[in-house]
Chains A and B, each alone.
Chain A
Amino acid sequence: MISLPASLATAHREVGRWADDLRQGALELDRDPDAIHRHLDLPAVRFLAGHQVPADWDRESAVPGSGPAHGLATLERVLVSEELARGDAGMMLASPGASMCGVLLGVLGSPEQRAWVHGRLAERPRWTCFALTEPERGSAIGEMTSTLTPVGDGSYVLDGEKRYVGNAARADLGAVFARVAGTERLGVLAVLVDTSDPGFHAEPLPTVGLRGAQLTRVRLDGVRVPAERVLGTHLPPTRRGMWSIVHVFNRLRPSVAAIALGIARAAHDYVGEHRLLLRGPEREAYEELGRRIDAARSLTYRAALAVDRRPSAGQLASAAKARACEVAEEVTLRAPDFFGPGARIDHPLLDKWARDARGVEFMEGTRNIQKLNLFQGLHTGKVGRN
């Protein structure tokens, strides 16, 4: 473990304060995902949109989308995501900004592609989307059926269907994963799309929780993808495609764990704030949940650092994601018990968190997928050697 760089510690404190504002809009957004438009001036939302930064937000360079000067991009994302999700995960996920596309661009984007995306995001609050999952195939990249058909000049035509894509109905820009027509399992590319282009259709998909994220079904009917929007073509062949895509997901997974932790902390803090006189077995149960959160947090931070040190080291990230989602479900389901029957009706935030916790399970692969990944790491000696 390392100590936190001073600049990141300062930024973390400020983002933590901004997070409290997100809570104010949580229930409104839960009822109406479009309510995010009424909260675009909140510092946390402006920060996610790329229009405001906390003090000591020390970047590698002045180029928009640059990573942190301290080099711990994944840990930074984890700390920020945890704090903002503690405020409200729905508000955080509903906010405009580069979001997961930013991470993808950081690995696979050329300077021109980053400039194009971040330039457009700088104009006004704009949403992006990240289209990976497919209706019949889930998120298994090797099974993907959406197709990029080469036109001959380096450009492609994109066809297919995506499902459970956050913010796609309100996004201006998106990243889409698809297989190049005629290639084998590993012939998957990521491309940037302008959602106003003909053939891009997005329709919201009502959900039980995390409604702010506004999951969407996306249909791609002959969307034209110019050569300059194909990600990774400026990289050596060994660094394109699956190699980079795996690294992107390794970087994203700890952030999903952090969102789960934020939800768990929100529910746990709520119990502490509203049940001031916990005693005996109740106090023990409350403290035990706190220890579970702390243990999952520690695992998540270690996972983030492992990926920052070596982007291929995604096994701890799988462990952290699986454990954090488990803790989020456990804490949010047990929190209402501290208030007696009817708690989820009398305390709508408790009900909301219990629903939201279900949503993080499906992001970046379910618990079983993470465990299979973890087993693979154990079997091949990539993790658990000490």
Chain B
Amino acid sequence: MTVPPEVREHGEQARTSARTDGLVPALTLLVRALSPKVPPRGPRGHAVLPKELLEEFAAEEAATREGARPEAPSSAGATGVDDSGPLPGLAVLRPVPGRTAEAAPPAWGWALAWLRLGMSERLRDACLAHLAARQSEGTSLLMQQMVKGTLADVLLEHLEIEGVLDDLATGRTGPLGPLRPADDDRHLAGLQEQITRVDRALLRLLGAHGFTAEGPGAAAHASELLADAYGVAGPGTAREGA
């Protein structure tokens, strides 16, 4: 497939923003760019979104319904919003029974993969800083051979993911392009899994520090929820998993 140029551009911006500013600002950027009117929902109606945007969406919806007051974004019943988001400023939306969810915009999943790559790189940066500051037997943990090897593995995965996303974004054909047409859904699911595996490898390097809610592990959890909510629906999951 070819990801539309504007999606690629926004995806790359989200990657940069995720790495430098974090998940909520990056996701805000991406939603505003690709789905400015309605909350993007996954194939089964779930969503993970910045709370700030939920208020905007509610106001938008109210404005379109003459005389109606904006729905409170935190009222779980009507909107399916779960206040206990994985990160401050982030909300999780469950499917609303009896209400057909708006589909996420085209190529939303690919744009999210860029964002998640940026988050994974942010986690790598945090890992490097954390390990460089810790000592064991007079040496920085960062300089332990096994740590070096793991970080090299992580970088290798990041470089490969970047290349695959870039190839998909440019829709390259010919000798420099992919050899075979890809099943987009499976390809995307594979990339999201790859990002999650890399994140888990980094979290292991962080030890218990990555397990605390204040540490970088919380953002990694939010990134996993994004992959889950906007994942690819397998055959039968919409029916049996509802």
Contact = CB atoms under 8 A, between A and B. Distances in A.
Q: Do A and B come from one complex?
A: yes
B156 interface: yes
A137 to B, nearest CB: 19
B156 A302 contact: no
B155 interface: yes
Interface in B91-145: 121, 124, 128, 142
A79 B180 CA distance: 17
A219 interface: no
A295 B183 contact: no
B185 to A, nearest CB: 12
Nearest to A9: B175
Given A1-B170, A1-B172, A384-B121, A290 B155 contact: no
A4 B178 contact: no
B157 to A, nearest CB: 9
A265 B179 contact: yes
B149 A295 contact: no
B142 A379 contact: yes
A384 B160 CA distance: 11
A3 B174 contact: yes
Contact of A298 (B148, B178, B183): B178
A258 B166 CA distance: 20
A202 interface: no
Contact of B174 (A4, A288, A290): A4
Contacts of B180: 287, 290, 294
B153 A298 contact: no
Nearest to A373: B152
A316 interface: yes
B158 interface: yes
Contact of A287 (B160, B170, B186): B186
A79 B175 contact: yes
Contact of A3 (B167, B176, B178, B183): B176
Contacts of B124: 384
Contacts of B186: 284, 287
Contact of A384 (B158, B163, B179): B158
A70 interface: no
A152 B182 CA distance: 64
Contacts of B182: 291, 294
A302 B160 CA distance: 10
A383 B124 CA distance: 13
Contacts of B183: 287
A23 interface: no
A29 interface: no
A375 B156 CA distance: 10
A219 to B, nearest CB: 34
Contact of A322 (B151, B156, B163, B190): B156
Contacts of A368: 149
Contacts of A4: 174-176
Contact of A386 (B121, B149, B152, B190): B121
Contacts of B178: 294, 297-298
A69 B121 CA distance: 38
B176 A1 contact: yes
A371 B149 contact: yes
Given A1-B166, A384-B121, A299 B174 contact: no
Interface string A353-383: 0000000000000001011101101110001
Interface in B175-220: 175-176, 178-180, 182-183, 186-187, 190
Nearest to B166: A1
A162 interface: no
B156 A301 contact: no
Interface string A134-151: 000000000000000000
A293 interface: yes
Contact of B128 (A265, A370, A378): A378
B232 interface: no
A12 interface: yes
B3 to A, nearest CB: 14
Across the A-B interface, give the 3 residue pairs with the lowest CB-CB distance, nearest first: A371-B152, A298-B163, A374-B152
Given A297-B178, A383-B159, 12 more contacts: A1-B176, A4-B175, A9-B175, A265-B179, A287-B180, A288-B190, A295-B160, A295-B164, A302-B159, A319-B155, A374-B156, A375-B151
9 contacts: A1-B176, A4-B174, A265-B179, A291-B190, A294-B182, A298-B164, A299-B160, A372-B152, A375-B152
Interface of A: 1, 3-4, 9, 12, 79, 265, 284, 287-288, 290-291, 293-299, 301-302, 316, 319, 322-323, 368, 370-372, 374-375, 377-379, 383-384, 386
